[in-house]
Amino acid sequence: MTTIPAPRTRNAGPGRRTTRGNWELYGWVFMRASGVVLLVLIFGHLFVNLVAGEGISAIDFGFVAGKWASPFWQIWDLLMLWLAMIHGTNGVRTIINDYAERDGTRLVLKLALYASFVVVVVLGTLVIFTFDPCPANSPADLLPSFCTA
Amino acid sequence: MPTAPAEPRDDAAPTAKRIPGGTLYRGREGMWSWVAHRITGVLIFFFLLVHVLDTSLVRVSPEAYNAVIGTYKNPVMGLGEAGLVAAIVFHAFNGIRIMLVDFWSKGAKYHRVMLWVVLGLFVVTMAGFLPRHLMHVFGGE
Ligand code: HEM
**Phi, psi at residue A25, to the nearest 5°?**
-65, -45
Over residues B30-46, the pLDDT tens digits come to: 888 999 999 999 999 99
Whether A148 is covered by a domain: the verdict is no
User: Is A35 inside any structural domain?
Assistant: yes
CB A42 within 8 A of CB B88: yes
* Higher-pLDDT residue of A139, A41: A41
Inter-chain residue contact B62 with A5, CB threshold 8 Å: no
* Beta pairing partners, A123: none
CATH code for the domain in which residue B54 is found: 1.20.1300.10
More confident residue, A89 or A101: A89
- Identify the pLDDT of residue B36: 93
Which residue out of B33, B37, B101 has the highest number of ligand 1 atoms within 8 Å of its CB and is therefore the one to mutate? B37
Range of the domain at A123: 22-142
* Residue B107 in domain: yes
pTM listed for this prediction: 0.84
Answer yes or no: is A16 within a domain.
no
Domain count, chain B: 1
Q: In which domain, by residue range, is B86 found?
A: 28-138
CA atoms of B33 and B73, how far apart (whole Å): 31
Structural domain includes residue B109: yes
CA distances from A47 to A51, A53, A66, B41, B132 (A): 5, 10, 16, 20, 11
Cβ atoms of A106 and A46 closer than 8 Å: no
Q: Name beta bridge partners: A5.
A: B3
CATH number assigned to the domain comprising residue A61 = 1.20.1300.10
ipTM of the complex model: 0.84
Q: How far is A63 from chain B (nearest CA, A)?
A: 10
pLDDT of residue B1: 43
Q: Tens digit of pLDDT for each residue in A41-76?
A: 999 999 998 888 788 888 888 889 888 988 999 999
CA distance A75 to A33: 18
Q: Nearest 5°: CA angle at A86, between A85 and A92?
A: 85
For residue A67, being part of any structural domain is answered with: yes
Q: Flag whether A27 is in a domain.
A: yes
The pLDDT-based confidence of B124 (bands split at 50, 70, 90) is: very high
B3 vs A29 pLDDT, higher one = A29
Of the candidates B45, B53, B67, the one whose C-alpha atom is nearest the C-alpha of residue A124 is B53
Q: In whole angstroms, what is the distance from residue B32 CA to residue A91 CA?
A: 18
CB B40 within 8 A of CB B85: no
Whether residue A105 is contained in a domain is answered as yes
Task: Give yes or no for residue B98 CB within 6 A of ligand 1.
Answer: yes
Determine the 3-state secondary structure of B3 from DSSP. Answer: strand
Residue B4 at interface with chain A, using a CB cutoff of 8 Å:
yes
Residue B56 has pLDDT above 60, yes or no: yes
Closest by Cα among B114, B13, B72 to A50: B72
Q: Give the pLDDT mean for A101-110.
A: 94
Per cent of chain A over pLDDT 70 is 89
CA B79 from centroid of its chain's CA atoms: 16
B14 in any annotated domain = no
pLDDT per residue as tens digits for the range B57-96:
988 888 899 999 888 888 889 899 999 999 999 999 999 9
* Closest CA relative to residue A36, chosen from A87, A73, A72, A74: A87
Q: Is A92 in the pocket of ligand 1 (CB under 6 A)?
A: yes
**Looking at the domain assignment, is residue A12 inside a domain?**
no
**Residue B79 maps to a domain:** yes
Predicted pLDDT of residue B4: 53
* Count of domains forming chain A: 1
Q: Within a domain: residue B116?
A: yes
The answer to whether residue A11 is domain-embedded is no
What is the pLDDT, as a whole number, of residue A109?
97
